[in-house]
Amino acid sequence: MPSLFETDIRKLKGVGEKRAALFAKLGAPTVGDLLRLYPRDYQDWSEVTPISEAGIDEVCVVRGEVASPPTEQRIRGGKLMHRCTVTDGVSDMKLTFFNNRYIPSLLKEGEAYLFRGRIGASGRTASMVSPEFAPADRSAEIVPIYPATQGLTSRSVAQAVRSAMALLPDTLEDPLPGEIREQYKLCYLGYALENVHFPKTMEDLEIARRRLVFEEFLVLQLGLMEIKSGSRQENLHPIPGGFPEEFTRLLPFKLTGAQQRAVTEGVKDMSGPSTMNRLVQGDVGSGKTAVAAALCWPVIKAGQQAALMAPTEILAAQHYKSLSGLLEPAGVRCGLLTGGAGAEHKRVREGIRSGEIELAIGTHALISEKVEFHELGLVITDEQHRFGVKQRMALAQKGASPHMLVMSATPIPRTLALMAYGDLDVSVLDELPPGRQEIATYLIGPDKRGRAFGYVRKFLDEGRQGYLVCPLIEGDESGMMSLEEYLPRVREAFPGVEVAALHGRMKPAEKEQVMAGFAKGDTRLLVATTVVEVGMDVPNAAIMLIENAERYGLSQLHQLRGRIGRGKFQSACILISAARNPESVERLKVFKSTNDGFAIADADLKLRGPGDFFGQRQHGLPQLKIASMSMDMELLKEAQKCARRIYRSGALEGREHMLLRGEIRRLFEKTGGGRVAL
Ligand code: ADP
Ligand code: MG
């Protein structure tokens, strides 16, 4: 088959210069590409439904004899309309056609045809408007529908595919070795191609599709694994192996099993032959900071420095406070470096340069030119989605390929993590520390807002703080709640309560000030847009109200809700929404039903597809031709297993996988080398 990928599409009968250009537009400049241009849909003519059993609104194929010659009528606008009745011997069906003057010559009285269309009702009789039709003796078949383009119909693509199929040798070499096909019960490539294009039955199509989807996933995974191993660098900062027990004794709690696993994985990386590149992915509150600190420990003990970069001053200060409190008594010197200048700034910079400061915590101030490290062994970025790869790299440049640890609270289903974070190994914290209170979540209509405010009041009276979230800063024609409208309402509803507003158009310094006021407890209610979504850790905040909750995706709602339930207080989240459309209702119901970030991520994936996960995060993942990450999850998992096995055994280099390597090259070369970036 590889040779067919070098065979120009013009080799096919009926494809000249002009058509070749159109095929190229569809992504099929060669015969091989054309065979991999799969139908986007199928019309099933293989199953004929008796008229009496055809349900209204269903798309059916009906076999009917034309009972009387079609009548012709001119209707408004000069449109031509034909009508006739057909019968299957038991029931009648009425047909209407518009603007097709050939109808009388195409539909002959007394002859039988197959009609395919959506069933309607004309009084008590079934009907179809402008159905497709074909002579009844045509072999009942499933018609592939191809992506088409101006000047090239699905039908002509199908014809070209037919002649391309004829060029295939009888025994086609299959990129999937027989052993894999057998183990995963996958059909042979020749069968798959024949049946993905021209299936006889829907079962055959399913068998074909399953194999092709598996192959595509396998090729994708293997390619990503290769990229990942290619980006590995020699470990210039090896540390001794072994679990940092000494560190864990400093903690006021016992690490969860998930935390222990993540630490073990990180230590193994850093004591191994190549640089660590690891993502720790854990739900809000899963205890990523402790994992980070545990991994700093052996690095510092080995005489090197570690740096922890947070996206905001508040977060950096938060980390500094808790980590220095923990580590300084054990003799580890910590420093905080945020924006600004002055003597303190200089002193910290000096300490970082001399190596006296062993753990540098800060904002992106850490990557400013003035900052130099003595010997930087480990770089940690917190809430990584707030940093670009560039910033992460800039911090890494401060050392000689230091180890990298990236922490993210955006849950991604495990199966997708490899693809979303191509060059990183992933540790998942899928377990919350014990004793967390579940957050109670309620969904109400805007008419109940008054009562919700009353509920908020109760939390305030008990000494708690709260977040009130709305989608807009200024009102617009969408009718959604804006800060402009909301703030005075809130102030009126909560007289005597210190209320502050927070939104994305404020200057960073203003934002920090507002957040600091809230963190200190001076501000009791924070009215905010989604800027509160990241990282704020105010354990005393226990109530959150989200206006126009239908506006947000599941993952975003989850991030928002993660701002509460961080302390020992029972917390509550109230969603306000008037949305009626089933999709929004479903989403909010799912959200109400669970606090588990991974369950939510899975549901989000099912409801909205992977676009959301990959949308902002991933560039350059190859375009899949047939597989769908959200629909074919089970196959993705199987292919992942298979890919790991092949890769680990080193078998990919072998002769039996030569064709598979060709497929990997082909899939990735179209995406400019397939660098997968964060
Ligand atoms: P996140 O993963 O959101 O960054 P943090 O690291 O901020 O979570 O941890 C959230 C809270 O849980 C902190 O107050 C931390 O001290 C606490 N914590 C972390 N690990 C444990 C544990 N194993 N047992 C009990 N509490 C823990
Ligand atoms: Mg955190």
What is the Å distance from ligand 1's center to 259 Cα?
A: 10
Between 184 and 406, name the one with better pLDDT. Answer: 184
Number of H helices, E strands in the chain: 23, 23
Q: How many residues does the chain have?
A: 678
For the Cβ of 282 lying below 6 angstroms from any atom of ligand 1, the answer is yes
pLDDT at 418: 63
What is the Å distance from ligand 1's center to 360 Cα?
A: 20
What is the Å distance from ligand 2's center to 179 Cα?
A: 46
**608 neighbors 583 (Cβ within 8 angstroms):** no
What is the Å distance from ligand 1's center to 426 Cα?
A: 19
The stretch 341-354 carries a mean pLDDT of 91
What is the Å distance from ligand 1's center to 288 Cα?
A: 7
Question: Hey, whose CA ends up nearest to atom 1 of ligand 1?
Answer: 285
Q: What confidence category does residue 271 fall into, taking pLDDT thresholds of 50, 70 and 90?
A: very high
Closest CA to 644 of 656, 636, 654, 632: 636
DSSP codes of every residue in 449-477: HHHHHHHHHHHHHTT-EEEEE-SBSS--T
User: Does residue 572 surpass a pLDDT of 60?
Assistant: yes
| pLDDT tens-digit readout, 586-630 | 889 999 998 888 788 778 777 765 554 554 344 346 777 888 776
User: Does residue 226 surpass a pLDDT of 90?
Assistant: no
For the Cβ of 209 lying below 6 angstroms from any atom of ligand 1, the answer is no
For the Cβ of 286 lying below 6 angstroms from any atom of ligand 1, the answer is yes
Average pLDDT, the chain: 87
- How far is residue 221's CA from residue 90's CA, in Å, rounded to a whole number? 55
What is the Å distance from ligand 1's center to 4 Cα?
A: 57
What is the Å distance from ligand 1's center to 452 Cα?
A: 30
Q: What confidence category does residue 676 fall into, taking pLDDT thresholds of 50, 70 and 90?
A: very low
Longest Cα–Cα distance in the chain: 99
User: Does residue 415 surpass a pLDDT of 50?
Assistant: yes
CA distances from 361 to 289, 292, 379, 406, 667 (A): 12, 12, 10, 14, 41
Please report, as a single letter, which amino acid is at residue 196.
V
The stretch 267-288 carries a mean pLDDT of 90
Which residue among 289, 327, 361, 428 has the greatest number of ligand 1 atoms within 8 angstroms of its CB, and so is best to mutate? 289
Q: What confidence category does residue 414 fall into, taking pLDDT thresholds of 50, 70 and 90?
A: low
**Strands 359-362 vs 334-337: parallel, antiparallel or unpaired:** parallel
Question: Hey, whose CA ends up nearest to atom 22 of ligand 1?
Answer: 433
CA angle, 577 then 583 then 584, to 5°: 15
- How far is residue 65's CA from residue 55's CA, in Å, rounded to a whole number? 20
- How far is residue 631's CA from residue 171's CA, in Å, rounded to a whole number? 32
Helix (H, G, I), strand (E, B) or coil at 542: strand
Note the ligand closest to the C-alpha atom of 325: 1
Note the ligand closest to the C-alpha atom of 282: 1
User: Does residue 672 surpass a pLDDT of 60?
Assistant: no
What residues are paired with 444 via a beta bridge? 576
For the Cβ of 253 lying below 6 angstroms from any atom of ligand 1, the answer is yes
Picking from 238-242, 387-391, 509-513, 625-629, which range would have the lowest pLDDT averaged per residue?
387-391
For 480-509, give one letter per residue: b (16+ CB within 10 A) or e: ebbbeebbeebeebbeebebbbbbeeeeee
What is the Å distance from ligand 1's center to 484 Cα?
A: 36
Task: Read off the tokens for 243.
Answer: 């679990």
- Beta-carbon contacts of 195 under 8 Å, excluding residues fewer than 6 positions away, are 187, 204, 205, 207, 208
**Strands 277-282 vs 112-118: parallel, antiparallel or unpaired:** unpaired
What is the Å distance from ligand 2's center to 258 Cα?
A: 15
The stretch 427-451 carries a mean pLDDT of 89
Question: Hey, whose CA ends up nearest to atom 24 of ligand 1?
Answer: 433
For the Cβ of 535 lying below 6 angstroms from any atom of ligand 1, the answer is no
CA distances from 59 to 47, 117, 294 (A): 11, 5, 61
Residue 505 backbone dihedrals phi, psi, to 5 degrees:
-90, 0
Tell me the HSE value of 616 on the side-chain side, using a 13 A CA sphere: 7
Picking from 69-83, 348-362, 389-403, 648-662, which range would have the lowest pLDDT averaged per residue?
389-403
pLDDT at 611: 52
The stretch 625-641 carries a mean pLDDT of 82
Note the ligand closest to the C-alpha atom of 252: 1
Angle between helical axes of 313-327 and 508-520 (0-180°, round to 10):
50
Helix (H, G, I), strand (E, B) or coil at 41: strand
pTM above the 0.85 mark?
no
- How far is residue 74's CA from residue 87's CA, in Å, rounded to a whole number? 25
List % helix, strand, coil for the chain (3-state, nearest 5).
45, 20, 35
What is the Å distance from ligand 2's center to 486 Cα?
A: 30
For the Cβ of 259 lying below 6 angstroms from any atom of ligand 1, the answer is yes
Question: Hey, whose CA ends up nearest to atom 17 of ligand 1?
Answer: 287
For the Cβ of 380 lying below 6 angstroms from any atom of ligand 1, the answer is no
Helix (H, G, I), strand (E, B) or coil at 651: helix
pLDDT at 308: 96
Closest CA to 409 of 541, 529, 536, 316: 536
For the Cβ of 255 lying below 6 angstroms from any atom of ligand 1, the answer is yes
**593 neighbors 569 (Cβ within 8 angstroms):** no
Report how far Cα 563 is from the mean position of its chain's Cα atoms: 22
First to last CA, the chain: 35
Q: Which atom number of ligand 1 is nearest to the Cα of residue 288?
A: 2
User: Does residue 249 surpass a pLDDT of 50?
Assistant: yes
Which residue among 286, 386, 432 has the greatest number of ligand 1 atoms within 8 angstroms of its CB, and so is best to mutate? 286
Task: Read off the tokens for 304.
Answer: 């090197």
What is the Å distance from ligand 1's center to 433 Cα?
A: 7
What is the Å distance from ligand 1's center to 536 Cα?
A: 13
For the Cβ of 409 lying below 6 angstroms from any atom of ligand 1, the answer is yes
DSSP codes of every residue in 85-147: EEE-SS-EEEEEEES-TTHHHHS-TT-EEEEEEE-EEETTEEEEES-EEEETTSPP-EEEE--
**Which contacts of 102-109 are long-range, i.e. CB under 8 A and separated by 24 or more positions?**
103/70, 103/72, 104/69, 104/70, 104/72, 106/133, 107/66, 107/70, 107/133, 108/66, 109/66, 109/67, 109/68, 109/69
Helix (H, G, I), strand (E, B) or coil at 19: helix
**337 neighbors 398 (Cβ within 8 angstroms):** no
Question: Hey, whose CA ends up nearest to atom 26 of ligand 1?
Answer: 433
pLDDT at 111: 93
For the Cβ of 640 lying below 6 angstroms from any atom of ligand 1, the answer is no
**129 neighbors 79 (Cβ within 8 angstroms):** no
The stretch 185-198 carries a mean pLDDT of 95
For the Cβ of 285 lying below 6 angstroms from any atom of ligand 1, the answer is yes
Helix (H, G, I), strand (E, B) or coil at 309: strand
For the Cβ of 338 lying below 6 angstroms from any atom of ligand 1, the answer is no
User: Does residue 202 surpass a pLDDT of 70?
Assistant: yes
For the Cβ of 563 lying below 6 angstroms from any atom of ligand 1, the answer is no
What is the Å distance from ligand 2's center to 224 Cα?
A: 28
Closest CA to 393 of 414, 355, 423: 423
**392 neighbors 310 (Cβ within 8 angstroms):** no
